[in-house]
């Protein structure tokens, strides 16, 4: 289950990110959720996901037509209870930042076992086996 930490500002966000990294979380297991797009270059150059609930212009237009809530759409992937969902929606709407730490418990061994790029194949070719002209 995802661990969600509510932070008030960017400096506190950096402290919590460093704390999660020291707890063994990888950057790919962390996501920052905010109301609007954050302009934090050092995080954009990392593998930490930056998610703005306002979305792009087309996201806002489709939500307007469908009546979907942007905050709820983003938070729905974390399997929260109704109370947690409402609480975190209010946090986002009050311009707080959410740091989501979600461990990747999937095994990536299947890729190595079934991907031909990982196979070692002997591709030695001798001229005698060629049907082309010989010199």
Instruction: Give tens-digit pLDDT for 86-118.
Output: 999 999 989 999 999 998 877 666 766 777 676
Q: Residues 117, 107, 101, 37: what is their CA dihedral angle, to the nearest 10 degrees?
A: 30
Residues of the chain with pLDDT under 70: 56, 59-60, 63-64, 67, 107-109, 111-112, 116, 118, 123-135
Match 């109704």 to its residue by tokens.
82
pTM, full prediction: 0.71
Token duo for residue 46: 């990392």
Nearest to 92 by CA among 36, 13, 130, 132: 36
Is 89 within 8 Å of 72 (Cβ atoms)?
A: yes
Whole-angstrom CA distances from 131 to 58, 109, 124, 127, 135 are: 59, 40, 16, 9, 12
């Amino acid at each position: 289950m995802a661990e969600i930490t509510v932070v008030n500002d960017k400096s506190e966000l950096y402290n919590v990110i460093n704390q999660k990294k020291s707890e063994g979380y990888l950057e790919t297991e962390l996501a920052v959720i905010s109301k609007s797009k954050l302009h934090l270059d050092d995080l954009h150059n990392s593998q930490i996901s930056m998610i703005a609930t306002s979305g792009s212009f087309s996201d806002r237009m489709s939500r307007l037509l469908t009546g979907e809530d942007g905050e709820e759409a983003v938070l729905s992937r974390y399997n929260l209870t109704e109370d947690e969902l409402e609480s975190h929606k209010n946090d986002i709407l009050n311009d707080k930042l959410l740091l989501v730490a979600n461990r990747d418990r999937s095994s990536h061994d299947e890729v190595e076992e079934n991907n031909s790029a990982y196979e070692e194949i002997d591709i030695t070719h001798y001229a005698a086996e060629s049907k082309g002209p010989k010199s």
